[in-house]
Structure 1
Amino acid sequence: MNSNSLVRTGALVAPVLLFGYGTLRLIDRADGRMDKGAWMWNTGHVLFFIAMVLLAALAIGARTRLPFHDFRNRVAANLAVVATSVGVLAFLWVIAGDLSPSLRETAPLPDALAIAGNAAFMLGLLTLLVQLVRAQKLPAWSPVAVLFAFLMIAVSLDTIPVAAILLFVGLLPLSGGRAPLSGSGPRLAHD
């Protein structure tokens, strides 16, 4: 799978899977309790797991769309991919623990690492999106929509379905090709 396919798949499918997870979570909690081990809990968490893997792939693929004219931008992009990937690994560890209580008991992820992982994921992905805006490969509103999606989830997990829609809107421009989104900007060379 080439980098454009990774980005396109992540941009289109990850938010849909997050919407499914958030919706199943709300349905599961409708009676006032979470039925851990129920099909909704497990199905929702599997959707969440796959969505996070796709977002890591999106970050890796998005980095290849960036033109680099100086060392600083290249380092920032590479660090953003590393931060996003480390954050995704933290999410995956927590999700795996939610799916397997024995894993959570034998190898729990400390709360500080989970919080740091969440922050690394969000900052890394937003950094890549801002770099794409600066390279005229993404509209300026895209990272804003993604930021609002992240903030909604941070405020309440019950907002995941709405946040997933915002994430979809924010990432949708990435589902296209490599051409600049603005007709006024020059086509930048890639290295």
Structure 2
Amino acid sequence: MRLRFAFIAAPLLVFAYGVIRILDGLDGSRGPGIAWTTGHLAFMAALVLFVPTFWRLRHLAGRNALATASAVAGTAGIVALLAQFAIDVVVGFMAADHDAMGPLFDQVQAVPGVELAVYDAGPYLFYVAQLALVVHCALRKEVKAWTPVLVLIDLMLPLIDKDFIPVGAIFLLVSFWPLARRDVPAARHALVHACGTMAHRV
């Protein structure tokens, strides 16, 4: 049930982040404020839920070296994105207004290694690994052939315009929905097996 929750809640939280981000920008600027903080916290919660989904996908992909490397890379990308969004939240709390946020971001990015790990390279591991895992699962026929297409659309839409993040999240939810549903029988089977083992021991 936890995996089912993760597969459904992660895209929904990304959707929430995208919607809040749009609302935050209606006045012509984004952050600081309640919308900035709430949106970022929603995405951070989604990132945490992506960890078990990645490792579930690694299981479906055969748990081989490539699948494991993809899951590890994806987890590293999640850590980088969590750091990036945590910085955003802290800057939002520290800045008096939107104009004051820029110099604070500059100070953080001036720290050696931060810009590369947290902004320029690290986050992309999350997106590349996500697609790699889903493609691998499709090749093993563990997911439908259209699943990687939907995931790719989700990844590409924000590159066109970040206001498309909610739309991409819907595509991701559709692609994850069968994975959430298939984990329900698996969870029930595991529970029945555990109960049967305990009864046998008694």
The verdict on a shared fold, with TM-score over 0.5 as the criterion, is: yes
Moved more, 118-127 or 13-22: 118-127
Is the CA contact (8 Å cut-off) linking 1:19 and 1:164 kept in structure 2? yes
Matches within 5 A, 1:108-187: 110-113=114-117, 114-177=119-182
Instruction: Please list, as runs of the form range in 1=range in 2, the aligned pairs for 1:1-191 lying within 5 A after superposition.
Output: 5-6=2-3, 8-36=4-32, 38-67=33-62, 74-101=64-91, 105=107, 110-113=114-117, 114-177=119-182
Q: For the residues of structure 2 that align with 1:5 and 1:160, how far apart are their CA atoms?
A: 25
1:46-96 Cα shifts (integer Å, max 9, x gaps): 00000011112210122223336xxxxx11001000110011111000000
Residue-pair matches, total: 169
TM-score (norm 1): 0.80
Aligned CA distance change for structure 1 residues 178 and 46 (closer, same or farther; 3 Å)? closer
TM-score, with structure 2 as normaliser: 0.76
- After superposition, give the CA deviation of every residue in 1:107-128 in whole Å (9 maximum; x if it has no partner): 7663332232222111111111
Instruction: Give runs of ≥4 in structure 1 deviating > 4 Å.
Output: 102-109
- Cα 1:78–1:88 change in 2 (3 A) is same
Deviation at 1:177, TM superposition (A): 2.0
Helix, strand or coil: the match of 1:176? helix
User: 1:155/1:112 Cα in 2 relative to 1: closer, same or farther (>3 Å)?
Assistant: farther
The residue identity in structure 1 corresponding to 2:116 is A
The percent of aligned pairs where both chains have the same amino acid is 31
Aligned residue identity for 1:57: P
What is the root-mean-square deviation of aligned Cα atoms in Å? 2.2
Please say which of residues 57-66 and 11-20 is displaced more in the overlay.
57-66
Question: Which ranges in structure 1 are unaligned for 5 or more consecutive residues?
Answer: 69-73, 180-191
**Structure whose alpha-carbon radius of gyration is higher:** 2
Structure 2: 5+ residue stretches without partners: 95-103, 185-202
Larger helix proportion of the pair: 2
